Copies of this chain bind each other. A is one copy, B any other.
Amino acid sequence: MSGVSPLTLNRLSLYLRCLQELGAEGVARISSTELAERFGLSASQIRKDLAQFGEFGIRGVGYEIVPLRSRLRSLLGLDRERGLVIVGVGSLGTALVRFPGFNRDGYRVVGLADSDPRLVGRMVDGKTVEPVAALGALVRRTGATLGVLAVPSAAAQGAYETLAAAGIGAVLNFAPTQIRALPGVPVKTVDLRIHLEELGFLMERPREGGRS
């Protein structure tokens, strides 16, 4: 049952966010059709995605927001608190320390590290920047389970391996390079530049149905 596709998984996160919004509005129940219309999704896909994990809906009625929401939360592991360690406190790293999505609902930044001695010792958002040499100790002390790499490409593989050795559970990598993963420590690379290039290509046909 651990064979859930990443696509499905990402949609579950999305559904959860929709449910949160609906909950805040005071909606108690919603049908797959209405959910789909409201947020630009596909109704049958919602049903199929959810049905993978049990029968959450009430036939003839729809889905109860509150119980479904907490079921999704526990499925995604958001009911237990998880600590993040951010490696690399340059512009991007610093932004991530404060990023709301990284400090909410089950995730929280608990440690920072950088290899630049001029940054070590500085406070960022109430946390002290530690040397990368002390990364292992930092992970163990804070009990962090997730690592975030905001370092240059050349430093990424090394930082990943240090995190893995320190017992981290998974790593999110922002360096535009392929990490050779070790067994048991999944990595996900998020390449911000690549999204620009995708849009650049989609934009490529200027004269086509363009207004005169």
Contact = CB atoms under 8 A, between A and B. Distances in A.
B204 A2 contact: yes
B203 A169 contact: yes
B14 A146 contact: no
Contact of A92 (B95, B176, B208): B95
Given A102-B193, A167-B211, A203 B176 contact: no
A206 interface: yes
Contacts of A197: 9-10, 13, 76-78
Given A102-B192, A210-B167, A203 B178 contact: no
A98 B204 CA distance: 25
Interface centre among A9, A78, A106 (most CB of B within 10 A): A9
Interface stretch (A22-30, A59-67, A114-122, A182-190): A182-190
A208 B185 CA distance: 11
Interface centre among A95, A99, A106, A199 (most CB of B within 10 A): A199
Stoichiometry, as copies per complex, reads 2
Contacts of A48: none
Contacts of A184: 208-210
Chain A interface, DSSP helix/strand/loop, else mixed: mixed
A141 interface: no
Interface string A160-199: 0000010101111000101010011010101111111111
Interface of A: 2, 4, 6, 9-10, 13-14, 17, 39-40, 75-78, 82, 84, 91-92, 94-96, 98-99, 101-102, 104, 106-107, 145-146, 165, 167, 169-172, 176, 178, 180, 183-184, 186, 188, 190-206, 208-211
